[in-house]
Amino acid sequence: MNTASNLDNLERNLKMMFKSLQSRLTSGVRTLAAAMVALAVVAAPLTSPTMAQAADQSGDVTASLRPLSPMPHALQMPSGSTMKKIQDRGRLIVGVNQDTLLFGFLNPLTNQLEGFDIDMARLVAKAIFGDETKIQFKAVVSATRIPVIQDGSVDMVISTMTINAARKEQISFSEVYYLAGQKVLVRRDSTAKSIADLNGQTVCVPKGSTTAKNIPRLNPNAKLNEVDTFTDCLVLFQMGKVDAISSDDVVLAGLAKQDPYAKVIGERLTDEPYGIGMPKDASDFVRFVNGVISQAKSDGTWTQMYGKWLGATLPGAAPNPPRGTYTN
C-alpha cells in the first residue's frame, strides 16, 4: 500500500509539477510574445524604413506593403490617415511627367495632361473622392521625382519611375503597376541591332534616370549625353546632335510615334518595374494605393488602360498585368 500510495503521490506530484511548469512556460511564452508585440509596435516607425531592406533580403525589390483590406469607401477615409488628410484638403496632388507620350504628356490640343500614368493617378483620386477630377498635377522631370516626394510638395509621384533598392531607401513604392524594359532608339536607316553596336556614338538619356546608370555597364564605349527630359533627347536626335536615345521601351515607343524616321531596336536590356512613389512614412497610403492598383488589375481596368494607351503602339497582344508581390 505504502509503496502504491507513494507511487500515486509521486505521480500526482509529477503531474502538478508538469502543469505548473506548463503553466509557467505558457505564461512566459505569452509574456515574451506580448513583449515582442509591444516592441514591434514601439519600434514600428523605426523598423518600417528597413522593410525595403527586408524585401531586398527576400530577393524581391518590387515587394510592397499588402493592399488595404477592406478598402474604405470614397469620402470615408479612416480618421488620422494620410488619405483623410488628402480628403480634407479636397484634392490629390500628384507629380507626373508631362512630356512622355502615352504615359504622361500635356496634349497641346486640349492643354490637358493625358496618358497611362495620368489615368492611374485619376483612379487613386476617384478612390478617395469618388471623383477623378479632384486632382492637381505637378509636372516633374526625372531628376525631381524623389525630391518633390521628400519635401512634401506632392502626395505621390507617378512618372514611369523604376522601383529599385537605392530609391527605396529614400521613398516608398507601390506594387508594380507596369513592367517596362530598357531599349534603344536609333535612326531608321541605322544598321545597329543593339546597344552593343553603338561604339563611339552618342546616346542621349534623361538625367537621374536608371537608363543613365545602365548605359556605361551595357556599352562602356558609347558616349553619354544627359539632358533634362526625354523630349529634349528627341529634339537633339532630330537635330542630329545625338545618334541614339536609350530609355524604357514604352517611353521610346512614345518618342518613335513622334518621329517616323526613328525605330526602336534590340531586346529588352533590363527589366524596369514601374511603381508609384510615396513618402517614406505613409505606409497607410501605400497600402491604400496598392489596393487601388490591385483592384484595377483584377477588374479589367488595367487592361483597358493598356489598350487605350499602348495597345496600338506596342507589338503583340496585351500582356497580363504585372503580378504584385507583398510584404506584411
Radius of gyration of the chain (CA): 27
Contact status, residue 248 vs residue 182, Cβ threshold 8 Å: yes
Q: Where are the alpha helices (DSSP H) in 151-282?
A: 165-168, 210-218, 230-239, 249-258
State which residue, 97 or 219, has the beta carbon closest to other proteins.
97
Helix ranges (H only) for 104-182 are 116-129, 145-150, 165-168
Query: Least distance from C-beta 75 to other proteins, angstroms?
Result: 18
CA atoms 283, 285, 286, 288: torsion sign: positive
- Rounded to a whole number of angstroms, the minimum distance from the CB of residue 49 to other proteins is 28
The residues, any chain, with a CB within 8 Å of residue 71's CB and separated by 6 or more, are: 127, 288, 291, 292, 295
For residue 264, which phi and psi values (nearest 5 degrees)?
Answer: -100, 130
Nearer Cβ to other proteins (50/112)? 112
Task: Cell 509539477: give the residue.
Answer: 17
Specify the 3-state DSSP secondary structure of 140: coil
Which CB atom, from 254 or from 275, has the smaller least distance to other proteins? Answer: 254
We find the least distance from the C-beta atom of residue 97 to other proteins, in angstroms, to be 8
Give least dist CB 293 to other proteins, A. Answer: 23
Chain positions contacting other proteins, by CB under 8 A: 91, 93, 95-101, 105-111, 136-141, 144, 228-229, 231-232, 234-235, 238, 255, 257-259
Provide the minimum distance between the beta carbon of 176 and other proteins in the complex, in angstroms, as a whole number.
24
Secondary structure letter of residue 160 according to DSSP: S
Distance CA(286)–CA(63), nearest Å, equals: 12
Nearer to other proteins, 64 or 209 (CB): 209
**Looking at beta carbons only, is 101 or 198 nearer to other proteins?**
101
CB of 98 to other proteins, least distance (A): 5
> In terms of CB distance, is 22 or 136 closer to other proteins?
136
